[in-house]
Every structure is written in structure tokens, then in C-alpha cells.
């Protein structure tokens, strides 16, 4: 089994090297694909300092296109059997990879979500942000007829051959509801597992805002009824 870990990055100079180091420490054969989405800070320089790793591929966008677009760029370079999406900050811990992989390796799941709301340790932070996440998950569940607890989670692991079946279109954070709508519609076997979560505040660099939440509402409806 080989993993392809896709890491979209935008202005994460302070964390990207440590994230890659943590991913490298996970004991699996892996291909790490980092997509720098035209960062304006020192992210690109931090990535160039990691160039010596044979299993690390770095791709740079010439303009900022959004998380979903960065993921599509990374998906096009996947070589592994299983794909894991990893954010470039330190909110999600690669030591949770075995939990994400177990249902796929056991043959029970095609897609696994790492849920921040199933009882794993998490930093106490941002009440209204968590309420927004739960509302979007509820709406997504109602329109897809599945029962996720955390649709908006970054941590999604899935069999790589799913990428041959699904064409993703969202450029920004709409990727999460789009991914969910499309794997649900196609009847893929979906599991959830608890993960740890070290959320950061906006002062610490969190980027998603209420505007992205509002856009997610339209994305949920769009990919349920019009795509």
C-alpha cells in the first residue's frame, strides 16, 4: 500500500515545514504532494528548503486559485493507492492516519472522514464556528441522506481510483460539500472515525470565514440538484 498525501498551502510559512516533517514520520510508503497556491509570504522558500526529500513533490500555482483548485492540481499527480488530504497548518495530526486507513484496509470503506465531533481530544475554541460546521453538516446530510457528524473536516481518506470516477469543480472551500455530495450520490461506502483537533484562532492564521460558510450553503444545494 502506498499513500498519496495532498497538502494545499497558502501563506503557511510558519507551519508547512513542520507539517511535512510530521507527515514524513508516519510509517507508511508515501508520496507527499504540496501545492503552494501562490503564497505571498515565505511559504515557497520554506518548501524549497525541503527539496531534498525524494518522496516530496512541490507544485506552485502562478496565482491564488483556492483550496479546491490546489487539491485538483495535487490529485492530478497522485501515484498511491489511497489518498489523504492534509491541511498545511497544525490543526490536524498525521498520527491519526492509522485510524483513517483502518476501515479502508479492512475492506469496509471506500471513503473515511476524520470527525472532530466524535470524542477525540480537541482544543476548546470558537463556539459559533463549531455551530456553523454542525449546521452545514446537517444541511448536507438532509440533502444527501447520509449521517455524517463533520462534513467540513479536512481529514478525508479515500481509495485513489475514486479520482477516475469523480470530476471536482469547486475552487475554494466548497470542495468539502462537493466531495460529500458526489461520493454519497455514487454510493461509496463512507465511514467516520474520531480524530484529535488543535484548532487555531483567526489571530493565529485561520482563514475560513462566515463568507465561506455562506458560499458552502449554495454549494451544498448546487451539487445536490444542479450538477
> Over the stretch 169-223, which tens digit does the pLDDT of each residue have?
988 778 999 999 999 999 999 999 999 998 765 565 566 666 767 777 788 888 7
Residue 52: which pLDDT band, with cuts at 50, 70 and 90?
Answer: confident
Number of domains composing the chain? 1
Strand 29-36 relative to strand 2-9, pairing: parallel
| 73 or 120, which is more confident | 73
- Scan for cell 498520527, then name that residue: 95
More confident residue, 52 or 58: 58
Of 82, 6, 9, 4, whose CA–CA distance to 43 is shortest? 9
CA angle 133, 176, 167 (to 5 degrees): 165
**Mean per-residue pLDDT for 152-163?**
96
Residue 108, C-beta contacts closer than 8 angstroms, at least 6 positions apart: 189, 191
pLDDT at 60: 95
What pLDDT is recorded for position 168? 94
Residue 144 has pLDDT above 70, yes or no: yes
User: The domain that contains 90 carries what CATH number?
Assistant: 3.90.550.10
Q: For residue 55, give the H/E element and its range.
A: none
- 8 Å CB contact between 143 and 177: no
Question: pLDDT of 128-140, one tens digit each?
Answer: 778 888 899 999 9
pLDDT recorded at residue 201: 59
Report residue 100 as a C-alpha cell: 483513517
By percentage, how much of the chain surpasses pLDDT 70? 93
Query: For residue 92, what is its C-alpha cell?
Result: 490536524
Can you give the residue range of the structural domain that contains 156?
2-225
Residue-level pLDDT at 219 = 82
Q: How far apart (Å, rounded) are the C-alpha atoms in residues 95 and 185?
A: 30
Burial of 50 (0-12, 13-18, 19+ CB in 10 A): middle
2-9 and 56-60 strand pairing: unpaired
pLDDT of residue 204: 57
Mapped to the 3 state alphabet, what secondary structure does 64-95 carry? CCCHHHHHHHHHCCCCCCEEEECCCCCCCCHH
Beta strands in the chain (DSSP E): 2-9, 29-36, 56-60, 82-85, 111-115, 156-159, 190-194
Residue by residue, DSSP assigns 174-189 as: THHHHHHHHHHHTT--
pLDDT number for residue 210: 64
CB 182 within 8 A of CB 144: no
What's the Cα-to-Cα distance from 43 to each of 33, 38, 71, 204, rounded to whole Å?
Answer: 15, 9, 17, 16
Q: What is the pLDDT of residue 158?
A: 98
Four-CA torsion 61, 62, 65, 69, nearest 10 degrees: -30
Amino acid at each position: 500500500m502506498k499513500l498519496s498525501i495532498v497538502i494545499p498551502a497558502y501563506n503557511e510559512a510558519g507551519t508547512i515545514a513542520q507539517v511535512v516533517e510530521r507527515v514524513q514520520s508516519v510509517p507508511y510508503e508515501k508520496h507527499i504532494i504540496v501545492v503552494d497556491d501562490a503564497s505571498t509570504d515565505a511559504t515557497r522558500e520554506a518548501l524549497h528548503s525541503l527539496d531534498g526529500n525524494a518522496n516530496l513533490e512541490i507544485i506552485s500555482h502562478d496565482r491564488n486559485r483556492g483550496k479546491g483548485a490546489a487539491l485538483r492540481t495535487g490529485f492530478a499527480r497522485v501515484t498511491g493507492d489511497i489518498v489523504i488530504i492534509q491541511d498545511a497548518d497544525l490543526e490536524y495530526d498525521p498520527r491519526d492516519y492509522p485510524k483513517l486507513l483502518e476501515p479502508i484496509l479492512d475492506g469496509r470503506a471506500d471513503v473515511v472522514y476524520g470527525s472532530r465531533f466524535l470524542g477525540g481530544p480537541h482544543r476548546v475554541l470558537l463556539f459559533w464556528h463549531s455551530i456553523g460546521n454542525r449546521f452545514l453538516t446537517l444541511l448536507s446530510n438532509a440533502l444527501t441522506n447520509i449521517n455524517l457528524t463533520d462534513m467540513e473536516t479536512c481529514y478525508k481518506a479515500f481509495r485513489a481510483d475514486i479520482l477516475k470516477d469523480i470530476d471536482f469543480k469547486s475552487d475554494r472551500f466548497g470542495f468539502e460539500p462537493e466531495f460529500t455530495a458526489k461520493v454519497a450520490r455514487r454510493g461509496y461506502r463512507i465511514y467516520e472515525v474520531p480524530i484529535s483537533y488543535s484548532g487555531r484562532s483567526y489571530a493565529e492564521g485561520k482563514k475560513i470565514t462566515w463568507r465561506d460558510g455562506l458560499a458552502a450553503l449554495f454549494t451544498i444545494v448546487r451539487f445536490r440538484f444542479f450538477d
